[in-house]
Chains A and B, each alone.
Chain A
Amino acid sequence: MKETPLSICEKQCVVQAVKEGQRIDGRSLSEQRKPCITFGTEWGCCQVLLGNTRVMAQVSCSIQVPKSSRANEGMLFINVEMSTMAAEHFEAGRLGQQGIEVNRLVERCIKDSRCVDLESLCILVEEQAWEVRVDIHVLNHEGNLIDAATLAALGALCHFKRPDVTLDGREVIVHQLDERDPVPLTILHYPLTLSFALFDQGKIYALDPTNLEERSADGKLVLGLNAYRELCTLQISGDGVFIRKEAVLSCANVAASRAVEMVEMLKKCLAADAAERIKGKYDGLVSSVALEAERVTTQSQARTYFKAPAHNLEENADEESLPVPKIKLVKDQGIVTLQTRSDASSSESDTEMDPLPPVPVVKKRVYEEIDIGNDSEEESVMLITNELT
Chain B
Amino acid sequence: METEQKSIRALKCEQSVLSRADGSVMFSQGNTVVMASVYGPLEAKIQKELSDRMYVEVNYKPKIGMPGVAERGKEKLVKTTCNHIILTNLHPRTAVCITIQEMQDGGTLLSASINAVCLALLDSGLPLQCLVAAVTCLVDKKDKIVLDPCIRTVKEGYKAMFTFAFDSQKYNLILSHCEGQVPYTLFQEAMELCQKASHIIFDFYRQAVLRKFSKELL
Contacts and interface: CB of A to CB of B under 8 A. Distances in A.
Contacts, number: 188
A86 B188 contact: no
Contacts of B27: 289
A164 to B, nearest CB: 20
Contact of A141 (B20, B24, B61, B214): B20
Contacts of B12: 286, 289-290, 298-301
Interface stretch (A40-48, A111-119, A123-131): A40-48
A297 interface: yes
Given A299-B207, A301-B207, A85 B99 contact: yes
A73 interface: no
A81 interface: yes
Interface in A249-289: 283-286, 289
B106 A298 contact: no
Interface residues of B, number: 68
A335 interface: no
A1 B59 CA distance: 15
A1 B171 contact: no
A120 to B, nearest CB: 22
B172 interface: yes
Interface string B30-45: 0101010101001100
B195 to A, nearest CB: 7
Given A92-B61, A139-B18, A289-B14, A308 B33 contact: no
A300 B10 contact: yes
Given A41-B106, A286-B31, A81 B61 contact: yes
A85 B35 contact: yes
B196 to A, nearest CB: 5
A82 to B, nearest CB: 10
A319 interface: yes
A133 B3 contact: no
A297 B26 CA distance: 11
Contact of B1 (A283, A311, A370): A311
B10 A285 contact: no
Contacts of B50: none
Interface band, chain A? 35 or more
B20 A306 contact: no
Nearest to A284: B104
A307 B5 CA distance: 5
B90 interface: no
Contact of A302 (B10, B43, B101): B10
Contacts of B19: 52, 140, 142
A109 interface: no
B197 interface: yes
A235 interface: no
Interface in B150-177: 171-173
Contacts of A349: none
A84 B97 contact: yes
Contacts of B105: 42
A83 B99 contact: yes
User: Top 8 nearest A-B pairs by Cβ distance?
Assistant: A299-B208, A85-B99, A85-B37, A140-B18, A297-B15, A58-B63, A305-B7, A92-B59
Interface of B: 1, 3-21, 24, 26-28, 31, 33, 35, 37, 39, 42-43, 59, 61, 63-65, 67, 97, 99, 101, 103-106, 171-173, 183-185, 188-189, 191-193, 195-197, 199-200, 204, 207-208, 211-215
Given A92-B59, A363-B188, 11 more contacts: A42-B63, A58-B64, A85-B37, A298-B13, A298-B211, A303-B8, A306-B8, A306-B199, A309-B196, A313-B185, A366-B192
